[in-house]
Structure 1
Amino acid sequence: MRRVHSMPFGAEITSDGIRFAVWAPTARDVSLVLDGNNHPLQADADGWHRHVSGQAHVGSRYGYRIDGNLVVPDPASRFQPDDVHGLSLVVDPQSYVWSDTSWKGRPWEETILYEVHVGTATPEGTYAGLMAKLERLRDLGVTAIELMPIGEFPGRRNWGYDGVLPYASDAAYGSPDDLKRLVERAHELGLMMFLDVVYNHFGPSGNYLHAYAKTFFTERHPTPWGAGINVDGEGSRVVRDFFFHNALYWLEEFHFDGLRFDAVHAIVDDGQPHFIEELANRIRQTIPDRHVHLVLENEANQARWLNRDETRQPKLHTAQWADDVHNSWHALLTGENEGYYEDYANRPLQHLGRSLAEGFAYQGDPSPHKDGIVRGEPSGHLPPSAFVAFLQNHDQVGNRAFGERLAHLIPPERLELAQAISLLSPQIPMLFMGEEWAASTPFQFFVDFESEPDLAKAVRDGRRGEFKRFKAFTDPEMSQRIPDPTDRATFEHSRLDWPELERSPHREFLSRTRHLLGIRRREIVPLLKSEYRGSQYKVSPENTLDVSWRFAESMLRLLANFGGAPMTVRLEDGARALWAGPNIDASSTNLQLPPWSGIILKGQSA
């Protein structure tokens, strides 16, 4: 099988030759630069510039000369061998022959996500290197790999959120065919493949859209990264389609099973339908015949995008990253209360209970961290599978000054308790690469702006400036200890050390992870596929947490003691322990819970 997503822009192979199309509504003159030669383009009334060339071929280098001077890559380039400032390469997507013709994906309820940064996940830092690890991850119990953004970014190392050419998989990781081989191998092993995409901003280097398509942006909706993306003003139809086609491109041409949409709260749309709504509808209408999962990151906690239909299927988006679950856990486990943890530090266990039971801790409540601004919508009507829960991810680890993982911050017994609850609660769990063995390596913030020293300095200074409001970094000497994000060593320190998982204590931690994922597969996944009937939670004055989730035939119950003294809890008859912490007699009806311990039970639904 051959796969191609046809789109109105970029370089497309036709029976008459290669068609080149670029939207440049604010350029006076546009020429196609093809293998070193200029070809003037005629503009239509809508700002499109098109040309069909019989001289171009697969492998041709091309770009666009703007107003007789600046040469830019194709904003819809499929491949950039020479980075963001170089020429684009004509690619034939149909040259790759797929063998996964019967793959239709997997139901969402079976999802166990594993978030990966391709560049630091393996010694090679490539798609091929990651492909060699897939079987190991499958055997662990993972069912889905989620790649951090891979759209072409400046230099050779980046988290991916500084991408500027969202259709070109970054050349640092391999070719488009290498990426397709990774996806195909995952499907052979029964693994889904997800991709993190960024539709809220472009990176600071290599974004040339301002030079020829100023209306791609708008000053009406400023963002932390500058002018907002114009999704609701004049010319916004083309802008919206640019991103809608990008989503479909990854799902169709590369056969990804799901997308994670970064920071959609930063996409401001005053029109109707909202960008978020139309995006989901376009995808669902275009790909109705296989499992496609759409996941939001949305600080606004808008439950409206996650509603289900009468068959319990998502109307629009499948789920949202449950930051409230993470933030509550982190405040509870570490006692940290600065930055956004301020919203959780006053009552971390109450916030944790509510977010485990209902998805959001903030459901229209004022945020202390944001000076009392009300955040969130009621979410208790949604099933637990509408939320992706995690103890760590790239943001929560990498945005720390030193990139420490949770295993570096808290005692092992606390981490084991949190891990068990996280993997056995009915939300969809996600692991951040290396978390399964409590990796010793940090994950730090890194970029590569070696060819742009002024930008490198700005990023370096800005990174250290971010932490000046934190007590630990008010001392300038301490601030200077923060790793330099532009130094290659920062990137290298973040690379996973796979051999350590064969050593203690990582070997034992990995074994526990495998055991918990096995319980999840046998006991939790069947529950999620049944009808959900609601939840409830209670927090005692002694800091015990009692959460129950009711399904059609069974109930799942969490009991945990986060206090400083042992607690006795009377159990109902018929409940069966799926997991119990150390020194807990799960057979007793009068359950004794030592401090920082817990049990997860399964029984008949009331």
Structure 2
Amino acid sequence: MANVTSSGAVLSESRDHWGAVVTDEGTVFRVWAPKRAKVEVLLNRGAGVERHALVGKNGVFSGTFEAPAGTRYRFELDGGEAFPDPCSRWQPEGPHGPSEVVDPRTFKWTDASWPGVGAKNHVVYELHVGAFTKEGTYDALINKLPYLKSLGVTLLELMPLNGFPGNYNWGYDGVNLWAPNRTYGSPDQLRAFVDAAHAHGLGVVLDVVYNHFGPDGNYLPQFSDTWFNSERPADWGAAVNFDGPGASGVRTFVAQNAAMWVREYHFDGLRLDATQNLFDDSPRHIVADITEAARAAAGARNVWLVGEADHQERKLVQPINDGGANLDAIWVDDFHHASRVAATGEAEGYLQDYDGSARELVSLALRNSLYAGQHFAFSKHQRGTDLRRTEPHRVVFALQNHDQVSVGLRAERLHRLAGEATARALGVLHLLLPQTPMLFMGQECFADTPFPWFVDHNAELQPLVTEGRAEFLSKFASVKSAIAQGILPTAPIDGFEKARLKWDEKPHIFSLHQDLIALRKKTALINSPRRDQFDAAVLSDRELVLRWFADDGADLLLLFSLGADRDLTPCSEPLLAPPRGSRWKFVLSSEDARFGGRGVISIPDGAGAWRLQGRCATLLQAHS
């Protein structure tokens, strides 16, 4: 008997899963095609085709036939045209070619003792498989696992792997949601990567996109007319239908897909793209179905589920029984936006609603977000919910990610925009805050490689998406003026080669991140302080202090400044005072010469005068 979610999505009985599922009795083909009266599976047999009728029931057509792994096939609909399987596990010729039967049971896993990943104490590392190495493959990524392990990160978050047209893509134009992209390697090579990551003690999270489909190669409307709801105000094409007529099949498709990645590839979690565009007024939100399906598929293993959440909705991390969705964490972009303005002073586009002050950074440290329902000028709507009582580990902060690096005329990294000293100081702040930190590939060594948006569409679509990208970037006044002068952002067709990491490593910057992550991981006071153990205060518009109160008196103090060197007088902030009978001792500084800084100018001990070093973050610890 199959386990199901509350909305009826099948979770565990493999022969009931949609797509082509290899069993001991043959391969079970199942496809949801409620708009069709007749569906046949066409199996490639050498130079010929073998045809089998599927039996329909409640819009799902199925049948079991001899079709071993490697068999290519299509579904013929109502005696007319034949199309790839919407739940194809492999599209070796791309979205327009035939599907191929895959048997995940034949892969020899070595991670039987891998327990999965917990809900907290993580440092996340986002990467694009194609751009991370010169080869752009899963096999090449395996060779980088020792490097990532030595950095100290705990979770690798892969940008979407679903099949897409062309040779390269960010991944958000996916149309084959069940098939890993062919340009990175085969399904078993992806499994080998995950298996190797587990052997290195690293979890792997997959970015999945359920809020829209790409514009080329999407054949879902051939099978059902209920996939989309054009009345919803989606950002990218028509919104996916999760609550209208015929939505039950759409919900099953998505829940089964989430479970498939966890079950067949041993992924340790999922990152749900743009949850604010998963429109659903059902009694139970589709995100709850997804989380329940993924956790059921994991069995005894622990998985980590995170949502991109521009609306910063706290219900996403609340239990399902309380009306929530049971995600482990959500992205909160307020931290990036405030930090970007603090670093660069560029408050345009959606950054216009931030001033980059120390007040904003302190509010983020203590309250997890800035927008909790206030008016947001850029969108002309209220934004955010109250996250003050949300546990900090359920909030993901990033100084850089794929979206934010790409915004701007040249898609430059933070250290290129603000200078290395400012980027180092913000990096220290970021990795010591109680919230879950996420790095973007190359950030740990201040890679100079930009990360522009890139896609490889057909000759008809490519000019349209190029124009659309320029229109989006024109929401930033600086980019709009450059375009008016004929100076254009990187064309999407050229972006991939520019985005590929050149690995011009800066070992001193890597050492800074490595030391910070090691300190964070070994210090519970930093990675998971109690509410009464952590506080913060504003020293000036460009300066702040963080304080961790240790039960044994070994308190920690972070002095952070994006201003100039100055004497701190009067010295009236009580958080600066060391515990009675103790003095502050030096732990780490972003301006330490070994990290590429100019050197440390002052180490205040708390007994004498204070001098703050500008564009610097200095960590101190109390010693008696």
After TM superposition, the score normalised by the length of structure 2 is 0.88
State how far apart, in whole Å, the 2-side matches of 1:49 and 1:340 are. 47
Query: What pairs up with 1:47-86 in 2 under 5 angstroms?
Result: 47-54=59-66, 56-86=67-97
In the other structure, the counterpart of 1:190 is 201
2:340 matched to which residue of 1? 330
Per-residue displacement from partner, 1:384-428 (whole Å, max 9, x unpaired)? 211111111111112333221112111211111011111122221
Unpaired segments ≥5 residues, structure 2 = 1-11, 591-599
Equivalent-residue separation in structure 2 for 1:512 and 1:299 (angstroms):
30
Query: 1:437/1:374 Cα in 2 relative to 1: closer, same or farther (>3 Å)?
Result: same
Residue 503 (structure 2) pairs with residue 492 (structure 1):
no
Pick closer, same or farther for the CA change 1:527–1:520 going to 2, 3 Å: closer
How big is each residue's C-alpha offset from its partner over 1:430-463, in whole Å with a ceiling of 9 and x where there is no partner? 11111111011111111111xx211011112222
Residues in 2 aligned to 1:437 and 1:323: alpha-carbon distance in whole angstroms: 22
Matched, 1:21 2:33: no
Aligned to 2:442: 434
Specify whether residues 67 and 308 from structure 1 end up closer, same or farther in structure 2 by C-alpha distance, changes over 3 A only: closer
**Which residue does 2:392 correspond to in 1?**
384
Residue of structure 2 in register with 1:340 after alignment: 350
1:79 to 1:385, Cα distance in 2 relative to 1, 3 A: same
Mapped partners of 2:336, 2:460: distance in 1: 36
Which deviates the most, 27-36 or 15-24? 27-36
Out of 605, 616, 619, the position equivalent to 1:587 is 605
Question: Distance in 2 between the 1:594 and 1:64 partners?
Answer: 67
Assess, with a 3 A threshold, how the Cα gap between structure 1 residues 232 and 308 changes in structure 2: closer, same or farther.
closer
Query: 2:333 and 2:486 mapped to 1: Cα distance?
Result: 27
Contact 1:531-1:552 at 8 Å conserved across structures: no
Moved more, 430-439 or 581-590: 581-590
Q: Could you say which residue in structure 2 is the equivalent of 1:470?
A: 476
The aligned counterpart of 2:594 is none
Given that 1:532 and 1:551 are in contact with CA atoms closer than 8 Å, whether structure 2 keeps it comes out as no
Question: How well do the aligned residues superpose, as a CA RMSD in angstroms?
Answer: 2.6
Larger mean Cα displacement after TM superposition, 328-337 or 314-323: 314-323
Q: Say if 1:567 and 1:205 are closer, same or farther in 2 by CA, change over 3 A.
A: farther
Task: Check 1:93–1:233 CA distance in 2 against 1; reply closer, same or farther (3 A cut).
Answer: same
TM-score, scaled relative to structure 1: 0.90
SS state at 1:223 partner? coil
Cα deviation per residue 1:314-339 (whole Å; 9 max; x = unaligned)?
98111111211111100110111111
Give the 3-state SS of the residue equivalent to 1:182 in structure 2: helix
Contact map agreement 2:525 2:548 (CA 8 A) in 1: no
- Equivalent position SS for 2:262: helix
Counterpart residue number, 1:155? 166
CA distance in 2, matches of 1:337, 1:11: 50
User: Are 1:34 and 2:43 an aligned pair?
Assistant: yes
Deviations, residues 525-558 of structure 1 (Å, cap 9, x unaligned): 4654564447544334553223446687786543
Aligned-pair distance for 1:481? 2.9
1:43 and 1:352 map into 2 onto residues whose CA distance is: 60
Q: Which residue of 1 aligns with 2:453?
A: 445
CA shift for structure 1 position 594: 2.5
Structure 1's 602 and 283: CA in aligned 2 closer, same or farther, altered over 3 A? farther
Structure 1 position 279, deviation (Å): 2.2
Moved more, 92-101 or 238-247: 238-247
- C-alpha separation between the residues in 2 aligned to 1:404 and 1:530? 34
> Structure 1, residues 20-76: CA drift from partner, whole Å, max 9, x if none?
11111123543222115363535535211222223x221111111234333211111
Q: How far apart, CA to CA, are the structure 2 residues paired with 1:543 and 1:126?
A: 43
> Which runs of structure 2 are paired with 1:15-414 in the superposition (5 Å)?
15-35=24-44, 36-37=48-49, 39=51, 41-42=53-54, 44-54=56-66, 56-287=67-298, 289-307=300-318, 316-345=326-355, 348-371=357-380, 373-414=381-422
Identity %: 35
Structure 2 counterpart of 1:543: 542
Aligned partner of 2:619 among 564, 575, 600: 600
Distance 1:22 1:532, change over 3 A: same
Q: Which amino acid aligns with 2:76?
A: R
Contact 1:571 1:591 in 2 (8 A): no
Structure 1: stretches of 5+ with no match in the other structure: none
Contact 1:6 1:12 in 2 (8 A): yes
Question: Aligned partners of 1:403, 1:175: CA distance in 2, in Å?
Answer: 31
Partner of 2:517: 517
After superposing the two structures, state which structure 1 stretch, 281-290 or 162-171, moved more.
281-290
Partner of 1:10: 19
Q: Deviations over 1:90-129 (max 9, x none)?
A: 0111010111100002434331111110001001100000
Q: Which residue of 1 aligns with 2:4?
A: none
